[in-house]
């Protein structure tokens, strides 16, 4: 589902080189499942959307090992990270992305966090801005010296 979502909703906004690099820096992070902070929405038994949050300091994982070694964030002083938000293209723009986002924010709030942050793609930034997020910084992300994928560091109070 992640690959179909990325191919249909994000690839049209990127160059071929950016697409390759994006896939290098966004393997699914199993730590989200291990930490119990990842959610899915199913429609007729099929996963239609997914997304989650992390109490760890890493906003993305560039390895299949995940972010389990990243330090935990103190909810009193730090921000929860919103991570790995995907919507199957057949269900895009039907409110499931917003549902995943509000679920992740509610769970982070219940865990004691008062702020959230994320690193958005160009396609995702639209959803987050509509949900009250502010863009703190435009960045280029990638592996090593190949920082060619545009991203947006965003934050909000929860």
List the domain boundaries for the chain: 2-117
Number of H helices, E strands in the chain: 5, 6
Q: For residue 155, how many other CB atoms are within 10 A of its CB?
A: 17
User: What is the Cα gyration radius of the chain?
Assistant: 15
Per 3-state DSSP, what percentage of the chain is helix, strand, and coil (rounded to 5)?
35, 35, 35
Please give the model's pTM, rounded to 2 decimal places.
Answer: 0.88
Does 69 score more than 70 pLDDT?
yes
CATH superfamily of 2-117: Gcn5-related N-acetyltransferase (GNAT) (3.40.630.30)
Does 139 score more than 90 pLDDT?
yes
Q: Of all residues in the chain, what percent carry a pLDDT higher than 70? A: 96
Q: What is the mean pLDDT of residues 45-73?
A: 83
Query: For position 109, what pLDDT does the model report?
Result: 98
Does 30 score more than 60 pLDDT?
yes
Cα separation, 96 vs 50, in Å, equals 8
Q: For the segment 3-17, what is each residue's pLDDT rounded down to a tens digit?
A: 788 878 878 888 999
Q: For the segment 90-116, what is each residue's pLDDT rounded down to a tens digit?
A: 999 999 999 999 999 999 999 999 999
């Amino acid at each position: 589902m992640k690959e179909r979502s990325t191919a249909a909703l994000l690839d049209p906004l990127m160059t071929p080189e950016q697409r390759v690099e994006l896939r290098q820096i966004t393997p699914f992070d199993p730590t989200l499942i291990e930490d119990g902070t990842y959610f899915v929405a199913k429609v007729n038994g099929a996963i239609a959307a997914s997304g989650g949050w992390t109490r760890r300091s890493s906003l993305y994982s560039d390895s299949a090992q995940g972010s389990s070694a990243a330090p935990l964030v103190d909810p009193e002083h730090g921000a929860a990270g919103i991570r790995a938000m995907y919507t199957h293209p057949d269900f895009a723009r039907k409110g499931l992305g917003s549902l995943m986002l509000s679920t992740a924010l509610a769970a982070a709030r219940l865990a004691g966090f008062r702020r959230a942050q994320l690193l958005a793609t160009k396609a995702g930034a639209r959803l987050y801005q509509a949900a009250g997020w502010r863009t703190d910084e435009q960045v280029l992300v990638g592996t090593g010296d190949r920082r060619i994928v545009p991203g947006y560091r965003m934050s909000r109070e929860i």
